[in-house]
Amino acid sequence: MQDDQQTAAQEIAALKAELAQAQQMAALGELVGTTTHEFNNVLMTILNYAKLGLRHQDGPTRDKALDKIMAAAQRAEKITNSVLGLARNRKPEFAPTQLAQILQESLVLLEREMQKYRVTVRLEFDEVPNVRAIGNQIQQVLLNLMTNARQAMPQGGELVLRLSHDPAAGFVDLTVRDSGSGIPREQLPKIFERYYSTKQGPDASGKGGTGVGLATCKDIVDAHGGKLRVESTVGKGTAFIVRLPVFSAARPAAAPITKLGIPTEQAQPEF
């Protein structure tokens, strides 16, 4: 009997892991649409300034064209790095993780979409220590929360991303707050249920409506030994607070700090 229970528990755990993987693939699929569009914009900029530089051979115009090409190429690099961060099949190991970096990377991917829906983004980052986390999973949580926030503000609004540290409790809080519709009190207990959705299928950007976003976020945050909370006022907006444990050397990470393979600004080649 006990054996049966154990097998069932193992099967559930395996299915949950598969589901998380499938959700990650779906999130990746959505991003392909967003990033292809973004890439096209960047390429157009590069092409147009290259043409300008070739047509006008005077020094100042060529310098300006090269500056613009450089900036566009750097943006393209940031976009690929962010997608690679999510796509790379890293071992799901906990490591010291800089949330500010993950936030920036997630934002790069959704920046254009936020502009399109007239959502302004405000960053309120306190100095915070590294947390113990699996980077690409936390990025997935963020992308889900930011997409929900954007969808709650169809007429535009403000998205606030906040990082704060509670040294006494040993946690870092990451808050995603929107100035959108808010969630009625009676719906609040349901929003973390899998397949609960109030959306009528995917929106114009092809996102939303399956009701797996928050359930996945909660599974991921729970597996991190953290907490996912919500505060909402109808007509004013909603805040989701992701609470993650500070990385402590006393509990060594399974992997060394790898910087997730993303080159830093300093690591860029000089030429």
Ligand X SMILES: Nc1ncnc2c1ncn2[C@@H]1O[C@H](COP(=O)(O)OP(=O)(O)OP(=O)(O)O)[C@@H](O)[C@H]1O
Site residues (vs Mg ion, CB under 5 A): 148, 213
Q: Would you state the structure tokens that stand for residue 97, as one six-digit string?
A: 């993780």
Is there a contact between 130 and 98 (Cβ–Cβ < 8 Å)? yes
Task: Decide: is 196 part of the binding site for ligand X (CB under 6 A).
Answer: yes
Give the strand pairing for 237-245 and 171-178. antiparallel
Provide, rounded to whole angstroms, the least separation between the CB of residue 153 and Mg ion: 13
- Shorter beta-carbon distance to Mg ion: residue 184 or 261: 184
Phi-psi label, residue 156: left if phi above 0, alpha if psi -120 to 50, beta otherwise: left
Site for ligand X in 215-244 (CB under 6 A): 215, 238
Which of 228, 216, 233, 103 minimizes the C-alpha distance to 160? 103
Q: Where are the alpha helices (DSSP H) in the chain?
A: 2-55, 59-87, 99-116, 135-151, 213-223
199 contact, one of ligand X, Mg ion, none, CB 5-8 Å limit per kind: ligand X
Helices 135-151 and 213-223: angle between axes, nearest 10 degrees: 150
Phi-psi label, residue 212: left if phi above 0, alpha if psi -120 to 50, beta otherwise: alpha
Task: Decide: is 191 part of the binding site for ligand X (CB under 6 A).
Answer: yes
Provide, rounded to whole angstroms, the least separation between the CB of residue 142 and ligand X: 13
Task: Decide: is 183 part of the binding site for ligand X (CB under 6 A).
Answer: yes
Provide, rounded to whole angstroms, the least separation between the CB of residue 202 and ligand X: 8
Provide, rounded to whole angstroms, the least separation between the CB of residue 173 and Mg ion: 21
| Helix or strand (DSSP H, E) at 237 | strand 237-245
- Shorter beta-carbon distance to ligand X: residue 132 or 177: 177
**CA–CA separation, 27 vs 90, rounded Å?**
16
Burial 75-110 (b: 16+ CB within 10 A, else e): bbebbeebbebbbeebeeebbbbbbebbbebbbbbb
Residue in 82, 137, 175, 181 binding ligand X, rule: CB under 6 A: 181
Provide, rounded to whole angstroms, the least separation between the CB of residue 115 and ligand X: 19
Task: Decide: is 209 part of the binding site for ligand X (CB under 6 A).
Answer: yes
Provide, rounded to whole angstroms, the least separation between the CB of residue 141 and Mg ion: 11
Return the ∠ at Cα 10 (arms to 7 and 16), rounded to 5°. Answer: 140
Site for ligand X in 56-75 (CB under 6 A): none
35 contact, one of Mg ion, ligand X, none, CB 5-8 Å limit per kind: none
Binding segment for ligand X among 115-123, 128-136, 156-164, 175-183 (CB under 6 A)?
A: 175-183
Site for ligand X in 94-153 (CB under 6 A): 144, 148-149, 152
Positions touching ligand X (CB under 6 A) are 144, 148-149, 152, 178, 180-181, 183, 191, 196-199, 207-215, 238
